[in-house]
């Protein structure tokens, strides 16, 4: 049995407190009126140099793009910036909440695949995976609450939730968004979210339950067979619901834009983050002496998955980017134009972190067995996929006003603390070896 060290408990509580304080600061320091924005921008411009330039560019941009709005009144640009700055802590919260939730979801999908594929190498890691998926329920509820708050107009990170846009009598009427009203409306959106989350929670609940029961009573592998069946069923359910969830929770930030392989792209990101987290937590527990049955071949296999799925993610990223770049259809390509103009460093930086770095570091078979190599690559991959989510969410919610500052870092610390606390707490609930699993002996002697 694993016992939660008081140091780790304290560490995660400190992370949560620091994150909460920082995030509150972020919420309190958002401007409330157009006048505040003007003051802030004047203060920024007074510093001169690079800041002044970027604002000048933003101004030029608004006078081209929003010329019509400017005609309504000179303050429309400042109002635009005001909304972006008000969205900033909300978007930071959302990105972090989604990122840690998607790790748990990725691990759940990986876990189900291991069952459905009857993998012989991984059963020794099942308890680690089960513990990571413990974050699924609280993380999913937090995500749902944030979505519901957006639905009740506590924030404006989801542009399409603005009821003015679908009202033909309103001056802000948007025919394109109104045309998607059948899918993009708040009640249906929340019902869908509840349905997706409910299905995933249900699988996680029964998979863990059956796994524990199999430990107690392994005769005839009754519980194992049930696990196998629900895993296969879950995978079918998952691939549909994950795809739709990615439209709802990520793609709908840009309601004018759509991409057909988006669900797969988000899936690849959450899958590789999940596998990386399994590897990191396994290496941590092994270094503390809790997993004597895990050998470096298991680490090697996890690192192979990290390597392969990183390349799969890149393949999908590039397929999406290149097809849109090549055909250059205006309604599609704006998605990448805003990202390349305003998010150049995060947009291309994540490619280096998520592709080139793991490609070169994890290619060598010997390096995949060296713990510190896998940990280093894993940390870079996780940071890269945080930036990936950041790139998907931020441009539509805060636009050019993005910055990785107090709100963003605090939100990550808050959820990191929560994640560590829940995962390591869940590890104490069951023995670390799923001894009833019929493949456990093979897995213990796994050698590659």
Partner 1 sequence: MASKVIHALYTDDDVLMDAVKQVRSEHYHIEEVYTPFPVHGLDKAMGLAPTRLAITSFMYGCVGLTVAITMMNYIMIEDWPQNIGGKPSFSYLENMPAFVPIMFELTVFFAAHLMVITFYMRSKLWPFKEAENPDVRTTDDHFLMEVDASHQDVDKMTSFLSSTGAVEIKVIDKQEDNH
Q: Is 365 or 428 the residue whose CB approaches partner 1 more closely? A: 365
The string of DSSP letters for 82-98 reads HHHHHHHHHHHHHHHHH
Contacting partner 1 within 321-340 (CB under 8 A): 321-322, 325-326, 328
**Binding of residue 284 to partner 1 (CB under 8 A):** no
Q: What's the closest the beta carbon of residue 325 comes to partner 1, in angstroms?
A: 5
Asked whether the beta carbons of 113 and 203 are under 8 A apart, the reply is no
Q: Is 25 or 364 the residue whose CB approaches partner 1 more closely? A: 364
| Residues in contact with 29: Cβ distance below 8 Å, sequence separation at least 6, in sequence order | 406
Start-to-end CA span in the chain (Å):
27
Contacting partner 1 within 98-157 (CB under 8 A): none
How many other C-beta atoms can be found within 10 angstroms of the C-beta atom of residue 435?
A: 14
Q: Is 64 or 366 the residue whose CB approaches partner 1 more closely? A: 366
Among 226-234, 294-302, 320-328, 339-347, which window interacts with partner 1 (CB under 8 A)?
Answer: 320-328
Contacting partner 1 within 25-84 (CB under 8 A): none
Q: Is 216 or 366 the residue whose CB approaches partner 1 more closely? A: 366
Site string for partner 1, 357-396 (x = CB under 8 A): ------x-x-------------------------------
Query: How big is the site for partner 1, counted in residues (CB under 8 A)?
Result: 8
Q: Is 253 or 317 the residue whose CB approaches partner 1 more closely? A: 317
| Residues in contact with 388: Cβ distance below 8 Å, sequence separation at least 6, in sequence order | 269, 350, 354
* Cβ-based burial of 447 (10 A; exposed 0-12, middle 13-18, buried ≥19): exposed
How many other C-beta atoms can be found within 10 angstroms of the C-beta atom of residue 218?
A: 16
Q: Is 118 left (phi over 0), alpha (psi -120 to 50) or beta?
A: left
Among 187-195, 251-259, 314-322, 437-445, which window interacts with partner 1 (CB under 8 A)?
Answer: 314-322
Q: Is 5 or 364 the residue whose CB approaches partner 1 more closely? A: 364
Which of 376, 407, 386, 341 lies closest to 22 in space, CA to CA?
407
The string of DSSP letters for 96-110 reads HHHHHHHHHHHHHHH
Q: What's the closest the beta carbon of residue 322 comes to partner 1, in angstroms?
A: 5
User: Which residues make up the interface to partner 1 (CB under 8 A)?
Assistant: 318, 321-322, 325-326, 328, 363, 365
């Amino acid at each position: 049995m694993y016992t939660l060290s008081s140091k780790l408990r304290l560490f995660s509580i400190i992370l949560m407190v620091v994150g909460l304080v920082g995030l509150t600061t972020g919420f309190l320091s958002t401007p409330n009126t157009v006048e505040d924005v003007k003051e802030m921008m004047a203060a920024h411009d007074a510093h001169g140099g690079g800041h002044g330039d970027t604002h000048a560019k933003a101004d030029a941009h608004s006078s081209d793009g929003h010329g019509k709005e400017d005609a309504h009144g000179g303050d429309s640009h400042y109002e635009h910036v005001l909304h972006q700055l008000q969205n900033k802590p909300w978007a930071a919260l959302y990105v972090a909440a989604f990122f840690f939730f998607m790790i748990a979801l990725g691990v759940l999908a990986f876990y189900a695949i291991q069952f459905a594929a009857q993998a012989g190498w991984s059963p020794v890691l099942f308890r680690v995976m089960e513990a990571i998926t413990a974050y699924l329920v609280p993380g999913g509820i937090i995500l749902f609450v944030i979505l519901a708050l957006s639905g009740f107009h506590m924030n404006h990170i989801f542009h399409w939730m603005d009821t003015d846009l679908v009202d033909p009598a309103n001056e802000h009427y948007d025919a394109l968004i109104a045309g998607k009203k059948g899918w993009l409306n708040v009640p249906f959106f929340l019902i869908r979210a509840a349905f997706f989350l409910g299905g995933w929670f249900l699988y996680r609940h029964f998979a863990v339950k059956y796994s524990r029961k199999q430990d107690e009573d392994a005769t005839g592998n009754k519980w194992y067979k049930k696990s196998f069946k629900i895993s296969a069923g879950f995978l079918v359910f998952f691939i549909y619901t994950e795809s739709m969830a990615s439209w709802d929770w990520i793609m709908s930030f840009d309601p004018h834009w759509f991409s057909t392989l988006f669900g797969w792209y988000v899936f690849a990101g959450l899958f590789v983050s999940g596998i990386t987290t399994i590897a990191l937590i396994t290496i941590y527990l092994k270094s503390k002496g809790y997993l004597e049955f895990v050998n470096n071949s298991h680490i090697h296999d996890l690192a192979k998955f990290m390597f392969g799925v990183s390349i799969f993610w890149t393949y999908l990223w590039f397929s999406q980017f290149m097809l849109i770049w090549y055909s250059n259809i205006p309604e599609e390509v704006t998605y990448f134009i805003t990202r390349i103009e305003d998010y150049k460093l995060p947009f291309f930086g994540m490619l280096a972190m998520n592709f080139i770095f793991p490609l070169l570091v994890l290619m060598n078979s010997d390096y995949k067995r060296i713990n510190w190599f896998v940990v280093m690559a894993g940390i870079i991959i996780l940071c890269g996929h945080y930036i990936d989510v950041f790139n998907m969410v931020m441009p539509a919610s805060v636009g050019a006003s993005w910055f990785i500052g107090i709100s963003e870092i605090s939100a990550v610390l808050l959820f990191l603390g929560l994640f560590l606390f829940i995962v390591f707490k869940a590890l104490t609930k069951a023995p670390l070896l799923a001894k009833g699993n019929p493949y456990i002996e093979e897995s213990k002697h796994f050698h590659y």
